[in-house]
């Protein structure tokens, strides 16, 4: 059986993308290095420290702690794990908006923590009052999303930080997808904008690094130390990781992507893809579809089932939200020509 890599010219559903050429090159070079074993592979471990520094700059932390995780799920899980272990209760809970990524439910299951989901407002953003109603003395962590998976929404991060503070919980921001576009917007979303304790930002999504390159950042090194319990002979932050052996390709790829793109390359990508999102949203509205206004470069539109299926049959990789809207994620590989071709296919449907 012959297998071929996925061509990106029809992918509109993924939150991953083609790595930047420099990132691809670095990943290939460091494919066999293991940043999980710094004594054997010191250079890639040093590269990881550089990546954490640059991610700190992006997320408003002068003195960042953290590491390159396998992805957003690991970073979110590690945040919940730290909160669980620091909480002074045997029955901790996490309060998150219902727009939170599925990984929080996975983390809850793995970590045996209750997740309380709060309804979102009419614009799909977390409602701080609804979150506050569900938070109590046993709340270990409050979660805000900066760039939701389904609609690309940015929760009111400072207000959620206040809710977390009121119940003495840690506050985590999931910017796994949004972290590389938000710096070029007016949103308040990071450590510099609110009392954020932990944050997920994935180089392998909008950061144009190869998989696996997630990012887990923390303000207080004590939070990271919590994850390193039972490794007293290991000093460095990297031993707080969930995995043992880790990918040198991911670390080196993230290093090269950040070097090539932060900040101007990411700004250009954001501006181009935000313009594409707005243009595509307008084109869908002209055709009579209900479209969720693209706050970030992600368009959700209420296409009929048959239309969605027809696009899939044409080879377009599209997916749907839980409530049924078709999602078009304006990842860096998505071009105006691709979107034009989608519109042509829509127009040809009857």
Q: Which of residues 156-215 bind a second copy (CB under 8 A)?
A: 202, 204, 210-212, 214
From the list 104-112, 117-125, 137-145, 291-299, the region that binds a second copy by CB under 8 A is 104-112
From the list 55-63, 158-166, 228-236, 340-348, the region that binds a second copy by CB under 8 A is 228-236
| Interface residue with a second copy, options 88, 230, 264, 337 (CB under 8 A) | 230
For a second copy, the binding residues in 319-348 under the rule CB under 8 A are 319
Note whether 189 and 178 are within 8 A (CB). Answer: yes
| Interface residue with a second copy, options 22, 86, 98, 106 (CB under 8 A) | 106
- CB of residue 76 vs a second copy: minimum separation in angstroms? 9
- Indicate the pairing of strand 170-174 with strand 198-200: parallel
Closest CA to 166 of 139, 146, 188: 139
Closest CA to 293 of 151, 148, 182, 154: 151
Cβ proximity to a second copy, 146 vs 213, nearer residue: 213
Closest CA to 58 of 221, 170, 256, 191: 191
What is the rounded distance in angstroms from the CA atom of residue 27 to the CA atom of residue 14? 21
| Interface residue with a second copy, options 28, 275, 282, 349 (CB under 8 A) | 28
| Interface residue with a second copy, options 14, 162, 185, 307 (CB under 8 A) | 14
- CB of residue 248 vs a second copy: minimum separation in angstroms? 7
| Interface residue with a second copy, options 54, 73, 148, 276 (CB under 8 A) | 73
Closest CA to 145 of 204, 221, 48, 79: 79
For a second copy, the binding residues in 30-49 under the rule CB under 8 A are 30-34, 37, 39-44, 46-47
Cβ proximity to a second copy, 191 vs 308, nearer residue: 308
Cβ proximity to a second copy, 97 vs 156, nearer residue: 97
Q: From residue 239 to residue 278, what is the string marking binding to a second copy with x (rule CB under 8 A)? A: ---xxxxxxxxx-x--x-----------------------
Closest CA to 334 of 280, 285, 265: 280
Note whether 30 and 246 are within 8 A (CB). Answer: no
What is the rounded distance in angstroms from the CA atom of residue 230 to the CA atom of residue 210? 31
Contact status: 56 vs a second copy (CB under 8 A): no
- CB of residue 320 vs a second copy: minimum separation in angstroms? 11
- CB of residue 3 vs a second copy: minimum separation in angstroms? 4
What are the Cα distances from residue 269, in Å, to 182, 208, 211, 250, 337? 12, 10, 19, 21, 16
Note whether 127 and 145 are within 8 A (CB). Answer: no
What are the Cα distances from residue 52, in Å, to 61, 69, 129? 10, 11, 34
Structure tokens belonging to residue 206: 């909008």
What is the rounded distance in angstroms from the CA atom of residue 60 to the CA atom of residue 99? 24
Cβ proximity to a second copy, 40 vs 89, nearer residue: 40
From the list 22-30, 132-140, 187-195, 273-281, the region that binds a second copy by CB under 8 A is 22-30
Structure tokens belonging to residue 101: 């990524």
Q: For helices 264-286 and 248-261, give the axis angle rounded to 10 degrees.
A: 90
Number of residues interacting with a second copy: please give it, by CB under 8 A: 71
Contact status: 138 vs a second copy (CB under 8 A): no
- CB of residue 78 vs a second copy: minimum separation in angstroms? 9
From the list 106-114, 192-200, 265-273, 291-299, the region that binds a second copy by CB under 8 A is 106-114
Cβ proximity to a second copy, 122 vs 229, nearer residue: 229
Note whether 96 and 143 are within 8 A (CB). Answer: yes
Note whether 211 and 204 are within 8 A (CB). Answer: yes
- CB of residue 312 vs a second copy: minimum separation in angstroms? 9
């Amino acid at each position: 059986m012959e297998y071929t890599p996925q061509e990106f010219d029809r992918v509109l559903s993924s939150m991953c993308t083609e790595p930047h050429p420099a990132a691809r090159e670095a990943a290939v070079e460091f494919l066999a290095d293991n940043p999980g074993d710094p004594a054997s592979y010191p250079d890639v471990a040093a590269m990881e420290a550089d990546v954490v520094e640059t991610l700190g700059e992006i997320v408003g932390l002068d003195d960042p702690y953290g590491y390159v995780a396998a992805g957003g799920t690991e970073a979110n899980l590690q945040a919940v794990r730290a909160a669980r272990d620091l909480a002074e209760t045997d029955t901790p809970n996490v309060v998150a908006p219902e727009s939170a990524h599925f990984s929080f439910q996975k983390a809850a299951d793995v970590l045996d923590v209750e997740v309380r989901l709060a309804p979102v407002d009419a614009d799909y953003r977390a409602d701080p009052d609804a979150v506050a109603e569900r938070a109590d003395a046993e709340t270990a962590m409050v979660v805000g999303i900066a760039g939701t998976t389904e609609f690309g929404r940015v929760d009111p991060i400072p207000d959620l930080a206040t809710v977390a503070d009121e119940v003495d919980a840690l506050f985590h921001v999931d910017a796994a997808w949004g972290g590389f576009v938000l710096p070029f917007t007016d949103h308040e979303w990071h450590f510099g904008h609110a009392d954020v304790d932990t944050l997920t930002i994935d180089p392998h999504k909008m950061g144009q690094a190869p998989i696996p390159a997630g990012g887990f950042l923390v303000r207080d090194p004590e939070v990271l130390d919590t994850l390193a319990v039972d490794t007293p002979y290991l000093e460095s932050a990297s031993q707080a990781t969930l995995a043992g052996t880790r990918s040198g390709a991911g670390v080196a790829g993230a290093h090269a992507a950040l070097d090539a793109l932060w900040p101007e390359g990411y700004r250009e990508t954001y501006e181009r893809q935000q313009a594409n999102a707005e243009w595509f949203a307008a084109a869908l509205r002209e055709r009579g579809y209900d479209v969720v206004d693209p706050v970030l470069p992600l368009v959700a539109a209420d296409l009929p089932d048959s239309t969605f299926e027809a696009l899939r049959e044409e080879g377009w990789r599209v997916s749907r939200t839980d409530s049924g809207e078709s999602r078009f994620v304006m990842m860096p590989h998505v071009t105006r020509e691709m979107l034009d071709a989608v519109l042509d296919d829509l127009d040809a449907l009857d």
